[in-house]
Structure 1
């Protein structure tokens, strides 16, 4: 296995198997096409060497029965490298070229209709520029595009001879079920809000022998989305962790640690540079602007260098620094250790979380969360956000409480269970939504304390939390929901440089991070607000503080 996912084979001239000449056939067909913006003689389509090798690698390798081996392609490539043109000619290959199947359905899927139509318009432009029509048994011949190909704009379709067609669809899958495409182009999946259309295409392709999906995208932001899931799966294939010979992975991406201002880094991930695209002068101009504006810098890293960024535009901590705390936690071994709880209660449908914190040597902490969300809207929440709430519930990472709001009684019951199991010294609440819960707990002798969410309380708490994380002394066990919350954080500073978390500005949930800051803060102070009746037994025999 190799940690290097870079597609060296695209440039090394190594042999690409083509036992039946299908790769050569595909290249010949594409070269016979024209492009209205091409600067080559007679507007011939510009298929550069790196693109040609990708085409040969898709269509050349076959099994002994002449079946193409590759049926899934994931290409992560920065903007400006003519990925739309490549996707367009591959689709024409399946509707006019040697890969044509009569009555075939080809789909262009994107975030919305506007984005999906970009590739469709590219196809239209190539067709109108003229070229050849492949007919099995008759070789190639010239054709009159306007008379042989119909543009059905009202249906977002291009209709070809043999009743094959290309249709642009958006990531709203409400009307997409029942599809059986022979070829699907999934465009810019980093921007897809949910995975429905991906699943529809996936199941449709499995019904059609010899089908092919090509995913062309730049990088994006955050990890709880279909784009990251697809790209991360592709990385594992490229590293040799997963064996999928049918899946061709081509990842032109940059490590977050790389110097984003280094032009050698630019050239490594932009294969079109040596052929005149993207425009190096414009790239330099954008880089100059990015030095002054953090938001432009993030855009430059994502779209021109394919650095996959955290959810937050101004992350609290880098994900690789946070991940250093992914160490095994033995909760049983912590039962007798002093413990502090931070509780972030939701208003209605938000996440609610309890985070327990234990001291771990000098300035170190161990934390573990318990998440809750309403059970009735679990599927709806997943549909709207693309976040895998259903999977988390099935894996026991989040507790779905009855009803369409978080059942606070369930949360309170869990707090009591944790106090009975661990040596809990304090239970910190933001009193805004916790008055009744705090009253119930205090009445029974549990050590509930107020922890307001303003600057005075949160700034020092966040400072302590940040120090532990940056110092590699924050052990969290890799809990995926907690990690997601931390990577969603948007910070804001006051004039004195104090930092707090902004729930209003965060695009996704940060509740687990807030509760962690509360618990760590109380643990750092080592306060003990247990009742003097800590050894008194309740009638049911359970010891209370």
Structure 2
């Protein structure tokens, strides 16, 4: 027998002012028809989600199928959401009600319309919604929190807006708060405590609260609804596991995961929830798991405007064509940005590492460099040293002076003479030719002779004014000790994101803006073609070697260039007790 609902909580919906916007509350049904008939371009996963719903409507006629569709419940959820108001942007300025698009109505149609035949409780206890940025994820998730809080009528309801950090969780919670604040019939039913990021039912124990993964209060939770925002950023499934396990005492809980794609294919979002969603949409998953993924199909070109709507269901509404066009143009000009655009704007899961410098972009920076004309000029040096028989590099960067705009680069490379033939075959590049052309210095023996590199550093210091030399502290102790004793300023440049990101972004700005001049050094050009860029969740970047399983890829000259440019960015550094300059 279906359980009774609290009339007190249902009355709030009747007391809210109504506007004509609810007249289009069947747009979800139209969306279903448009997807099935191909009137709206859609990816495979969206078609599968719609087909699943239609197929289950037919299955529900079978007494043995445990679920049925209640159109009244679905409409109530849609109408309630459309009585809430926008809190940001032009629509908020106009004090407009939220208008759910067809795809958003379809999601609510399924989540709230499908119920169990035996007790009337909701069918779906977990949902996975994957959609790119700017498609109204937060707004839709916030309406879900208010819906469950005000309409479910369950005593002591606990609703959590959860994320990796409490500040991130507060983004969704603040949207819930703003929607409630703008609706007087809801506002008078709650107390809001901003300091504790908590909304509490007046005269009751129901709450809506922001929850970060760093919280020490996760155990003992009893969620009715848990909204997991941007799950792709979670390194572990700990929070989801805690929240899901805490739902055991609830009659009809809902774990609501909403996220964009990410770069961590080994994380719980991709490995567990997304993989389960893909299997479920293909017909091999649990019946109480709702899922839909907005992305591009395999073979789609991400820079083709005709397919953008597949990944962006709100294209033309909250996602503007001009915005996507701008993002795509930026990405086409900078390969490093391509994965970021694919992931955040087209919901394509990409590795965190990607090719960085396009050959056309690098070639455009191939202006001539005259070493003699640079004599006496200020320069900054970076060096990346090999451990044994690999490539080493020393790069001098000359900042522009007077009316100049370009940073000029002089690059020198080193390899043991006895290793050149073997390395040429292994790396599949003409080290011997580069040696003969003067771009590569062959040091005696089969292990790199750092005395030759020291001699070149002294030669640079004699010819140019070397302000400082940057080095990776991992393998440079001998040279550093010698150069310091001769009065040279040596700067240890740590290779983590914190240090390398601002330097790398400055380098990127210069080569994309055609403000580098490298003299067409072929070894440096090869390094540029090899280097990939890794980006962390905070948007920091650093250069990295390609997959270590791939041989013959070297990036020493680019790393040395970035270190030298990084030193040139600093007006002054912080000196350690031993007098060295440390970049941290």
TM-score by length of 2: 0.52
Structure 1 Cα separation of the partners of residues 530 and 247 of structure 2: 44
Aligned ranges for residues 329-340 of structure 1 at < 5 Å? none
Structure 2 Cα separation of the partners of residues 62 and 239 of structure 1: 22
- Give yes or no for the alignment of 1:237 onto 2:280: yes
Q: Cα distance, 1:159 vs. partner? A: 1.5
Secondary structure (helix, strand or coil) at the match of 2:239 reads helix
For the 8 Å contact 1:172–1:196, the answer to whether it is kept is no
For the 8 Å contact 2:355–2:532, the answer to whether it is kept is no
- Give yes or no for the alignment of 1:127 onto 2:180: yes
Q: Quote the residue 1:495 is aligned against.
A: 524
- Give yes or no for the alignment of 1:158 onto 2:189: no
Q: Quote the residue 2:85 is aligned against.
A: 34
Structure 2 Cα separation of the partners of residues 283 and 153 of structure 1: 35
For the 8 Å contact 2:353–2:534, the answer to whether it is kept is no
For the 8 Å contact 1:113–1:168, the answer to whether it is kept is yes
Q: Cα distance, 1:57 vs. partner? A: 0.4
Q: Quote the residue 1:298 is aligned against.
A: 339
For the 8 Å contact 1:40–1:46, the answer to whether it is kept is no
Q: Quote the residue 2:324 is aligned against.
A: 283
Structure 1 Cα separation of the partners of residues 234 and 388 of structure 2: 38
- Give yes or no for the alignment of 1:264 onto 2:306: yes
Kindly provide the CA deviation profile for residues 128-179 of structure 1, in whole angstroms up to 9, marking residues without a partner as x: 1116xxxxxxxxxxx261x432221222212223221111112225431221
Where in structure 2 are there 5+ consecutive unaligned residues?
1-42, 58-67, 358-386, 390-415, 430-521, 537-541, 553-584
Aligned ranges for residues 348-497 of structure 1 at < 5 Å? 461=426, 494-497=523-526
For the 8 Å contact 1:36–1:43, the answer to whether it is kept is no
Structure 1 Cα separation of the partners of residues 259 and 421 of structure 2: 44
Structure 2 Cα separation of the partners of residues 167 and 264 of structure 1: 41
Q: Cα distance, 1:459 vs. partner? A: 7.5
- For residue 228 of structure 2, the aligned residue among 180, 186, 210 is 186
- Give yes or no for the alignment of 1:216 onto 2:258: yes
Kindly provide the CA deviation profile for residues 420-478 of structure 1, in whole angstroms up to 9, marking residues without a partner as x: xxxxxxxxxx879xxxxxxxxxxxxxxxxxx9xx99977854559xxxxxxxxxxxxxx
Secondary structure (helix, strand or coil) at the match of 1:6 reads helix
Q: Quote the residue 1:489 is aligned against.
A: none
Q: Quote the residue 1:307 is aligned against.
A: 348
- Give yes or no for the alignment of 1:4 onto 2:33: no
Secondary structure (helix, strand or coil) at the match of 2:344 reads helix
Structure 2 Cα separation of the partners of residues 506 and 32 of structure 1: 41
- For residue 74 of structure 1, the aligned residue among 108, 115, 128 is 128
Q: Quote the residue 1:167 is aligned against.
A: 209
Is the radius of gyration larger for structure 1 or structure 2? 2
Kindly provide the CA deviation profile for residues 12-62 of structure 1, in whole angstroms up to 9, marking residues without a partner as x: 995965337321222222222222343698622212222111101011111
Kindly provide the CA deviation profile for residues 387-429 of structure 1, in whole angstroms up to 9, marking residues without a partner as x: xxxxxxxxxxxxxxxxxxxxxxxxxxxxxxxxxxxxxxxxxxx
- Give yes or no for the alignment of 1:88 onto 2:142: yes
TM-score by length of 1: 0.56
Q: Cα distance, 1:498 vs. partner? A: 5.2
Q: 1:497 to 1:73 in 2, by over 3 A?
A: same
Q: Cα distance, 1:180 vs. partner? A: 1.3
- For residue 149 of structure 1, the aligned residue among 190, 199, 210 is 190
What value does the CA root-mean-square deviation take over the aligned residues?
4.0
For the 8 Å contact 2:260–2:344, the answer to whether it is kept is yes
- Give yes or no for the alignment of 1:24 onto 2:97: no
Q: Quote the residue 2:397 is aligned against.
A: none
Where in structure 1 are there 5+ consecutive unaligned residues?
132-142, 317-429, 433-450, 465-492, 519-545
Secondary structure (helix, strand or coil) at the match of 1:205 reads coil
Q: 1:261 to 1:79 in 2, by over 3 A?
A: same
